[in-house]
Amino acid sequence: MSDLTRETLVINMGPQHPSTHGVLRLILDLEGEVIAGSEAVIGYLHTGFEKEMETRTYHQNIVFPPRIEYLATFIEEQAYVTAVEKLLGITPPKRAEVIRVVLAELSRIASHLVWLGTSAIDLNVSSVFMYCFRDREEVLDIFEMVSGQRMMHGYFRIGGLQWDLPDGFVERVRGFLDGFPGRIDEYEALLTDNLIWRQRTEGVAVLTPDDAIRYGCTGPILRGSGVDYDVRRAFPYGGYAEYEFDVPLGTRGDAFDRYRIRMEEMRQSRRIALQALQRLPGGPVMVDDRKVALPPRRELVRSMEAVIHQFKLVSEGIHPPAGEVYAAVESPRGEKGYYLVSDGSNRPVRVRVRAPSFSNLQVLPVLIFRRYVADVVVAIASIDIVLGDVDR
């Protein structure tokens, strides 16, 4: 028996294991059931988005962000258009900003629900998965109502939004948000005081604050270790400085803390979305700048200038000034940033996607070192990676 425990066994998890939340391959060195070393192998979902974006105009590139990270689609679009707007030096109208905040916070709720459901399935609580997807479906229906698409919306535009909200939007969102706290309470009742859930997550996949910072972790995994860094607070964008919300922090940095933080973040997202609905101003949803936004259709029959602007924007696109900017948003997984380099032409020289999942996944070997194989599943679930975001 003693020989068995000393021998190192190399096994592969994935690339298609259900608990890897995508196409991730994990190489584990096992001593018995204890992990002596591990390596995450990524790239199975690499699609070359950054290269593609260099070859298209700024407006055409709006289609890519929600495909990079397909669980928090509006937050992705927000990250990209915020970066281009910073490059252009423009701010969208107030109404557009507030609508973006509502949709971004609903996206956060939808993304955390997917995380909760799939994590619960990893730990064999399959009923929670059904409930979470039921709620997420309601959010996606709202998205469809606004943009026509459940996921790959293309609704955010450089300088504003594609069109104004449909009738009945505010009531529908309120209807969802009113019933939402009761549902979170139900899920917490199923999990927080569940002995098996607690034993599987408490003290598992522990990350110290120092390691979290040195590895560049962001999002719930960083805040779970007690480091107070939320992009919405530290570098407010899109009017987030005007909203009241709490940033929940963990103390022990384990999987249970991350679970508690995400549950609380859903409640805070609801709080922000309700404040946004409360203050939703009237007015246009697109910036009034003919070098950025298409002229309204009714002007085209009256004004030659409008026709020229329309023609130039459609045939060439926007020409931002030469320079480089980095704009980040707080995605459900952490700091999502776009680094744009422009030479003044109608296409970016470089589009770099700062992916939170990439940095967060890198810390996985630290989380599972000297732990049991069963904890690997908990660790992966608690990081909440999206492989599309890791590989881009």
Residues that bind another protein (CB under 8 A): 42-43, 46, 48, 50-52, 55-57, 60, 86-87, 89, 213-217, 227-229, 234-235, 315-317, 319, 322-326, 328, 335, 337, 339, 341, 343-347, 349-350, 352, 354, 358-359, 362-363, 391-392
- What minimum distance in Å lies between the beta carbon of 292 and another protein? 13
Sheet order of strands, 8-13 included: 8-13, 25-31, 34-41
- What minimum distance in Å lies between the beta carbon of 156 and another protein? 20
- Cα separation, 129 vs 31, in Å, equals 33
- What minimum distance in Å lies between the beta carbon of 187 and another protein? 31
- What minimum distance in Å lies between the beta carbon of 86 and another protein? 6
Among residues 227 and 263, whose Cβ is nearest to another protein?
A: 227
Among residues 70 and 215, whose Cβ is nearest to another protein?
A: 215
- What minimum distance in Å lies between the beta carbon of 369 and another protein? 13
Q: What are phi and psi of 307, to 5 degrees?
A: -65, -40
Q: How many CA atoms lie within 13 A of 329 on its CB side?
A: 28
Which of 318, 389, 294, 327 lies closest to 82, judged by CA? 327
| Chain centroid to CA 205 | 22
CB 329 within 8 A of CB 338: no
Cα-based distances in Å from 159 to 90, 153, 253, 304, 387 = 7, 16, 39, 23, 30
Among residues 89 and 281, whose Cβ is nearest to another protein?
A: 89
Structure tokens at 80: 């990209």
Among residues 51 and 279, whose Cβ is nearest to another protein?
A: 51
- Cα separation, 385 vs 219, in Å, equals 11
Q: In 3-state terms, what secondary structure has residue 298?
A: helix
Instruction: Count the residues in the chain.
Output: 392
Q: Give the bridge partners for 27, in sequence order.
A: 12, 39
Hey, what amino acid is at 99?
Answer: I
- What minimum distance in Å lies between the beta carbon of 64 and another protein? 14
- What minimum distance in Å lies between the beta carbon of 269 and another protein? 21
Q: Which residues contact 224 (CB under 8 A, 6 or more apart)?
A: 207, 249, 250, 253, 254, 257, 258, 261
- Cα separation, 11 vs 30, in Å, equals 8
Among residues 98 and 261, whose Cβ is nearest to another protein?
A: 261
- What minimum distance in Å lies between the beta carbon of 38 and another protein? 14
Q: How many CA atoms lie within 13 A of 142 on its CB side?
A: 24
- What minimum distance in Å lies between the beta carbon of 315 and another protein? 7
Which of 94, 91, 92, 107 lies closest to 147, judged by CA? 107
- Cα separation, 64 vs 99, in Å, equals 21
- What minimum distance in Å lies between the beta carbon of 104 and another protein? 20
